[in-house]
Structure 1
Amino acid sequence: MFLNQMYKKVVWVFLLVVSLLISNLALAKQYLVKTPDEYNRAAKRLQPGDKIVLANGVWQDFEILFAAKGTADKPIELTAKNKGQVILSGKSNLRLAGEYLVVSGLVFKNGYSPTGEVVSFQQNSTNVANHSRVTEVVIDHFNNPDKFLSEYWVAMYGRHNRFDHNHIEGKSTSGVTMAVRLNSEASQQNHHQIDHNYFGPRPILGSNGGETLRIGTSHYSLSDSFTVVENNYFDRCNGEVEIISNKSGSNTFRNNVFFESRGTLTLRHGNGNLVENNVFFGNGVDHTGGIRVINGEQTIRNNYLSGLTGTRFGAGFVVMNGVPNSTINRYHQVKNALIENNTLLDLSYINLAAGSDKERTATPVDSQFKANLVINRDNHAPIQLLDDVSGIAFSNNVSSQATAKEISSGFTLTDTKLEQADNGLWYPADKALAALGASRSLQPITKAQVGPTWYVKNSLTVDFSAGRKVAVSSSEQLVEAIAKAQRGDQLILADGTYILDKVLSVSTVLSLQATNPGQVTLYNTRSLMFELQDGGSLKLQGLIIDGKDAPDSAGNVLIRNTKLPTLQNFTLELDQLQVVNQNINHSFHVFDAGYRSFADLISITNSRFANITGDILRLNKEQDDLGIYNAEYVIIRNNEFSKVEGAIANVYRGGTDESTFGPHVDFSHNTVTDSSMGKRNKAKASLLLHGTQVNKVEANQFVNSAVVVLEHTVGEPTTTITNNVFENSPEPVIKQLFPLSGATVTMSGNKTQ
């Protein structure tokens, strides 16, 4: 009897569970939609547990509003039929609003958002998303055509939202890649989670406004966000001096990897933030930085920073000075900072009390720097004291180099050897130092562990030898080969002459090389020979370019960018060239940068330029003084310039912004003869470098040529002028245009004859 009753009860419970499951399944609906209209109809009927599935294919000009209210146990989903096979193109975006929403599997590519955000966790200022998630979504080079029309790619509003396992790559427009917004009470104290994302390469912007992640703004910086940023991979995020700009309080940055990224994780505003267990791999790449500390109650512990070359504000480790009684948008004093158990390995600079000047006089106070490991294997001493650091208590640290006497009692000097652990990081072989620096249990996250598993992380780079070798022996073949070129193609030109009656439009990465240098001559019969389109990079090697057959008109140009603003950075390399007879009329220029164009590198090496009525490099198109400029690195080495009427280089970076590293100019081992004296040379100089940040003028000979002029503006420009000969040519002129620029100048070994 008892067993029979138990049996009936079990059956009854089983039938109840089955009934409930069937009931739930009956209530939850799945909508497979194939058009925006079908989506909009389905979106109006959504109930907790429902799912909308987008059919595979390209969805053109589709602005998705995903507004609904799920529950914690029955979220509402929007996904792709097959993840990665739903492409949002053209003018498309995504807005979430409501509760417990989940979006996954979408790819934004080949287009841009018509609004200021690609993915937004709000419909409008009064309807935000809470407890919602965006996962396995891709935004790949989804850039507005107007480079300096500021836009976010991801904007988080509301509370308790998660952004995870996404792939974000190739933002080349102004504006933060991802922003956590605190501009309303509904979005403050938000407890967002940002994890396991791949933040792929962001190219140098050449202006302020290129952060990869920003949490808050200065206006709301005294508010807490409680955002957790963990287990993300920042891969060559090079937009500007701040990779992450923290501008709110009580945030956590944990277990992230920064790989060869220029700039720093910057605690710019806000108090009480935690930075722990992060790994920075600089690998000696220029301007790679680590952590910059500002404001109060910051904790920086158990981080591993290696091979970082950055200087001043972008150094490997920075503790800033503040402004007394600072306004909310300036620099607040560092107070009660705890900096402990960090490994600082092979850093070029550790700058303490950085930014000290007539305004920033509030030195760090009530802070600790303890149990840190400071090792440089090249015997360079990285720690710089830039003001009074008596407000930082140094204790139980180890350094491989002697430190300043003011802090030496807080360091033990050691020459310990290092050994590489299973996690790939380096630790002291001396077991007595095991408690110092970052923990051996630290496990840097890898690229394979972040982003969607189904989307390849294969960022395109400029490699002039990556493609096919294509033999060319006639003018017609050359024109055709350029029109059909694939990325990285090398056009190998046979000996002879090539008369070009068409403008050569370069829209990919392309090189033209002489089979035998000096035996290939190009004659241009148009006012322009090469035009670099958006996405075009060019290398010319071993060629003679003769302008004698160019049109008899003013303003001819050998190479220029398209006149339309471009999104993609380019590279231009000229090697072993002979460029002659560009004097058929006045103002015949070699290279003329386009407005809103930007070069990662322009290199001129081992070449000869003679009888030219214009400029060699015109990199002065950004005259609106917003800190925008045309080239990051300009290298001019081992060349001869003779009878060039214009400037050899005119490089301009105007304004007072300090958020960029460049331009950098290296002018070395050149001979300049009878040059830059033309009446139409607006620069009135052989070199005019305005606002450039790193300048090297070394081992050149100037004969009967115009003056070299450097105009220092903001930042801390560094100029080295050494071992040059000025024969019947003026000595260089250096102008300090801003009294607080912090410029440094080295002039030595120069001779005037």
Structure 2
Amino acid sequence: MGMYALATSALALAMAGCAQPISGADTGAPADIVEQSQAIMVSSPKAFSEALKAAAPGTDIVLADGVWLDFDAVVDAEGTAEKPITVRAQTPGKVVLSGQSSLRLAGSHIIVSGLVFRDGYTPRAEVISFRRDSDNLAFNSRVTNTVIENYSNPDRAQRDIWVVMYGKNNVFDHNHLSGKLNSGPTMAVRLNTEESQENDHVIRNNYFGPRPVFGSNGGETLRIGTSHYSLSRSGTLVENNYFDRCSGEVEIISNKSGGNTFRGNTFFQSRGTLTLRHGNDTLVENNLFDGDGAPYTGGVRVINARQTIRNNYFKNLTGERFSGALVVMNGVPDSPINRYHQVDGALIEGNSFEAVRRIELAEGSDAERTAVPVNSIFRDNIVVGEADASPFRIQDDLSGLVFEGNVATAQPPGPIAYGFQVVPSSVATDMLRETPDVGISRDETGVSWYPKAPVTSPFDGGARIEVAAGPDALSSALANASAGDTLVLAPGDYEESRLVNLRVPVTIEAADPSNPPVLTFERPNFILLSANGSLRLKGLEVSGVNSPDSSGNSFISTTSMGGAGNHTVELHDMTFSQFDVNKGFSVISAAKGTFYDRIEITASTFSDISGTVIKLDTETDDYGIYNAEYVVIEDSTFDRVGGSVAAVYRGGRDESTFGPHLWVRDSRFTDIGQNSAPLFLAHGVQNLELTGNQISDARPAKLIITTGNPVVDVSGNSIAGPEGGSVLNTVDMR
């Protein structure tokens, strides 16, 4: 019997032995420890430590139900395969470790189960660590049936990792990890000492819930190894896990070690790819990559030597370049260990591609990455692109990648066409339906007693609350609002003297759009978004006439006080005017270290704004960090603006993100940039669209290219005024 089976059996026996009530017999232990045989109930950190000191093989320590605040749990003990030491919740899910809590394991044959980490963040670099310290690691141990949700450091830049595996032969299974917002992978396997190499860890049947866009490098969901130890063997098995909307950065999984296996996993609506970034001899088989049509969803990115990708199903994937359904990279000749090693000996066979946008071959080819794939085979694959178009894009010489026995519904490009039989869509569809089962369902992963993340709008599900006009009426209503509530404002004046720290998503709309409520505010900001705060506004008039005479005012801004979540702002049928009591008055801005998933403006009017309307340029350290993923402006009007309509900044040359995006369509701009600012500042923007707009008396928009190959569409615009006919100036700083 293997270690995993032994551990499972032992845990079941331990739980069965404690099924009856634990008696209150006097054992001479502290008052909060009750012992019967080897089952010990504890209800305080001190009692827990005392129980661990006395633990022997077979000891079962039961944590009493309740909230354990600031609990630094250290399980350093020696069990055996037949008699592991178990630490478990009295009732799975009802032992909550909150505040500054963490869990460390050291020794051998330890099983921990049934815990929940929430309402806080780790004071350490790791929430759950398979080591006590650098000299005391865990071996043959297991964490199961445990939850970590929204346990993020409120400072997004503060790096930590929720689960880190050290040592050898450890198991992490049937757990639930969801909602990490701050820097650092959700989970990692470390190989930083010889004792943690060739580890044969198992990561199985876990639910990896949504990892929102991080807006920088450092948002992986799982990383195995690091560049420094990438030529060492890890031997980790990642099997039957569900990756649900894991979209932190371009690498969903970052494989940086050798000999790992990724089998039977499902990736749903997850942006990026399973990236074989470093390390050799990786096996990727029987996985399902289902993008469900979501943006930037991808499959596998292939780098390094002797990688095998077989019998996987790739469907409805929209990603391109580094997030294609399959990406075979170019390498760097004689690459240093932290760059791109040449693809050598890759075997890509028996995979099914259905409705995928791109298969990228020799991707990344540039002046540095000139080492094309060699000694590699692409065979017996079924390829159906979007709308039956060929998904292949070739960036360099492919003579070292042989194609044979493949089927496609569209003629592939000439250099690889020899390796394909082109068949009708109906034939390919029948073949796809006959492929083996792959992946795993969401319900087969995680824990049964804790809900998985819903697929709903953050603005749904709350109450509809009517608000009468009056001084501070809106701020009072917002102070009592719950997530998803809609505040319906009666006609009249709303004179607001208080600042609102909004921590939940709320909609504010006019009761009668033909008679809009008028909102004024006396503070430099009216709304500060923090934690999970988001705002949808419909049909209101907002005036800055009562705002203070100070530079840098902004109607909506952000703060990390209370936590820096990912925010959304939607403005529909809104009017903003008289934002000109002093210079630098914005409508929307971002504080450093905060992030908007989306800012969307439709059918709205802005006039007499002294500053930049949408100010997203605080991340000027040039580390690849930025303040917003999507800025979308449609069917709106901007008149007499002192600064740019939007200033979006992403510096540095990092390639780990897809944004920012700036899309401006069918809008009118007059007298923009009175302070010599461009119409738009798009510094490092990766996707820019300016289409169908009417522009008068404005300096051209400015695109500064810092990395990547931005997608740019500037078409259908009309321009008039002293600046002439130019819509966009581009500066390439790569």
The alignment's TM-score, normalised by the length of structure 2, stands at: 0.93
> Which position in structure 1 is the counterpart of 2:381?
372
Contact 1:289 1:316 in 2 (8 A): yes
- C-alpha spacing 1:161/1:376, structure 2 compared with 1 (3 Å): same
Rounded Cα–Cα distance in structure 2 between residues aligned with 1:282 and 1:715: 23
Deviation for aligned residue 1:687: 0.5
Deviation for aligned residue 1:381: 1.6
Question: In the alignment, does 2:703 pair up with 1:725?
Answer: no
Rounded Cα–Cα distance in structure 1 between residues aligned with 2:395 and 2:66: 58
> Which position in structure 2 is the counterpart of 1:4?
none
Rounded Cα–Cα distance in structure 2 between residues aligned with 1:481 and 1:276: 53
Deviation for aligned residue 1:379: 2.6
Deviation for aligned residue 1:565: 8.4
**Residues 174-185 of structure 1 correspond to what in structure 2 (within 5 A)?**
174-185=183-194
SS in 2 for 1:52: strand
> Which position in structure 2 is the counterpart of 1:458?
453
| Stretches of 4+ aligned residues off by more than 6 angstroms | none
Rounded Cα–Cα distance in structure 2 between residues aligned with 1:618 and 1:630: 9
Amino acid across the alignment from 1:624: D
Please list every run of 5 or more consecutive structure 2 residues that lacks an aligned counterpart in the other structure: 1-16, 18-34
SS in 1 for 2:414: coil
Pick from 335, 348, 360: which aligns with 2:357? Answer: 348
Rounded Cα–Cα distance in structure 1 between residues aligned with 2:531 and 2:449: 28
Deviation for aligned residue 1:460: 7.7
Rounded Cα–Cα distance in structure 1 between residues aligned with 2:77 and 2:313: 43
> Which position in structure 2 is the counterpart of 1:29?
38
Rounded Cα–Cα distance in structure 2 between residues aligned with 1:154 and 1:563: 24
Contact 2:274 2:301 in 1 (8 A): yes
Rounded Cα–Cα distance in structure 2 between residues aligned with 1:518 and 1:499: 20
- Greater Cα shift, 460-469 or 405-414: 460-469
| CA offset digits 1:380-433 (Å, max 9, x no partner) | 221011111111110110001111111111000111317xxxxxxxx732xxx5
| CA offset digits 1:154-199 (Å, max 9, x no partner) | 0100111100000001110100111110000000000101000000
> Which position in structure 2 is the counterpart of 1:750?
none
> Which position in structure 2 is the counterpart of 1:510?
506
Deviation for aligned residue 1:628: 0.5
Contact 1:462 1:537 in 2 (8 A): no
Amino acid across the alignment from 1:343: S
**Residues 79-118 of structure 1 correspond to what in structure 2 (within 5 A)?**
79-118=88-127
Question: In the alignment, does 2:641 pair up with 1:676?
Answer: no
Of all paired residues, the percent bearing the same amino acid is 47
Rounded Cα–Cα distance in structure 1 between residues aligned with 2:588 and 2:733: 30
**Residues 199-348 of structure 1 correspond to what in structure 2 (within 5 A)?**
199-348=208-357
Question: In the alignment, does 2:642 pair up with 1:642?
Answer: no
Please list every run of 5 or more consecutive structure 1 residues that lacks an aligned counterpart in the other structure: 1-20, 419-426, 740-753
**Residues 298-697 of structure 1 correspond to what in structure 2 (within 5 A)?**
298-376=307-385, 378-417=387-426, 428-429=429-430, 433=431, 440-459=435-454, 462-475=457-470, 476-519=472-515, 520-562=517-559, 564=561, 566-678=563-675, 684-697=677-690
Question: In the alignment, does 2:146 pair up with 1:137?
Answer: yes
Contact 2:226 2:256 in 1 (8 A): yes
Pick from 77, 80, 85: which aligns with 1:76? Answer: 85
- C-alpha spacing 1:377/1:626, structure 2 compared with 1 (3 Å): closer
SS in 2 for 1:695: strand
Amino acid across the alignment from 1:470: I
Rounded Cα–Cα distance in structure 2 between residues aligned with 1:153 and 1:87: 16
SS in 2 for 1:704: strand
Question: In the alignment, does 2:706 pair up with 1:713?
Answer: yes
- Greater Cα shift, 603-612 or 531-540: 531-540
- C-alpha spacing 1:192/1:28, structure 2 compared with 1 (3 Å): farther
| CA offset digits 1:583-616 (Å, max 9, x no partner) | 2222221112111110000011111111121110
Contact 1:233 1:450 in 2 (8 A): yes
- C-alpha spacing 1:460/1:32, structure 2 compared with 1 (3 Å): farther
- C-alpha spacing 1:351/1:577, structure 2 compared with 1 (3 Å): same
Deviation for aligned residue 1:231: 0.3
Amino acid across the alignment from 2:716: N
Question: In the alignment, does 2:70 pair up with 1:61?
Answer: yes
> Which position in structure 1 is the counterpart of 2:10?
none
- C-alpha spacing 1:599/1:295, structure 2 compared with 1 (3 Å): same
Rounded Cα–Cα distance in structure 1 between residues aligned with 2:314 and 2:353: 5
Amino acid across the alignment from 1:585: N
Deviation for aligned residue 1:486: 0.9
Contact 1:712 1:734 in 2 (8 A): no
SS in 2 for 1:41: helix
Question: In the alignment, does 2:211 pair up with 1:187?
Answer: no
Question: For this pair of structures, how many residues does the alignment match?
Answer: 697
Rounded Cα–Cα distance in structure 1 between residues aligned with 2:562 and 2:47: 38
Q: Pairwise CA RMSD of aligned residues?
A: 1.7
Contact 1:522 1:544 in 2 (8 A): yes
Deviation for aligned residue 1:738: 3.4
Contact 1:302 1:438 in 2 (8 A): no
Rounded Cα–Cα distance in structure 1 between residues aligned with 2:584 and 2:153: 34
Question: In the alignment, does 2:168 pair up with 1:172?
Answer: no
Deviation for aligned residue 1:504: 3.2
Contact 1:221 1:248 in 2 (8 A): yes
Rounded Cα–Cα distance in structure 2 between residues aligned with 1:29 and 1:283: 50
| CA offset digits 1:98-136 (Å, max 9, x no partner) | 111100011111111111000001111111111111100
Deviation for aligned residue 1:556: 2.6
Deviation for aligned residue 1:668: 1.2
Deviation for aligned residue 1:564: 4.3
- Greater Cα shift, 479-488 or 61-70: 479-488
Contact 2:357 2:386 in 1 (8 A): no
Rounded Cα–Cα distance in structure 2 between residues aligned with 1:636 and 1:390: 46
Deviation for aligned residue 1:501: 2.2
Contact 1:518 1:544 in 2 (8 A): no
| CA offset digits 1:427-482 (Å, max 9, x no partner) | 732xxx5xxx6963314311111111111113485432431111112225423221
Contact 2:160 2:183 in 1 (8 A): yes
Amino acid across the alignment from 1:626: Y
Rounded Cα–Cα distance in structure 2 between residues aligned with 1:527 and 1:183: 49
- Greater Cα shift, 27-36 or 70-79: 27-36
Amino acid across the alignment from 2:294: V
> Which position in structure 1 is the counterpart of 2:23?
none
| CA offset digits 1:526-560 (Å, max 9, x no partner) | 33222223221011111111222333343332111
| CA offset digits 1:603-647 (Å, max 9, x no partner) | 111111111211100000111111110000000111111111111
| CA offset digits 1:561-591 (Å, max 9, x no partner) | 1364842100001111111111222222111
> Which position in structure 2 is the counterpart of 1:698?
691
SS in 1 for 2:334: coil
The alignment's TM-score, normalised by the length of structure 1, stands at: 0.90
Rounded Cα–Cα distance in structure 1 between residues aligned with 2:181 and 2:554: 27
Rounded Cα–Cα distance in structure 2 between residues aligned with 1:88 and 1:677: 54
Amino acid across the alignment from 1:642: D
Contact 1:201 1:459 in 2 (8 A): no
Deviation for aligned residue 1:28: 6.1
SS in 1 for 2:188: strand
> Which position in structure 1 is the counterpart of 2:730?
735
Rounded Cα–Cα distance in structure 1 between residues aligned with 2:63 and 2:233: 37
| CA offset digits 1:658-683 (Å, max 9, x no partner) | 100000010111111112122xx6xx
Rounded Cα–Cα distance in structure 2 between residues aligned with 1:563 and 1:185: 40
- Greater Cα shift, 149-158 or 547-556: 547-556
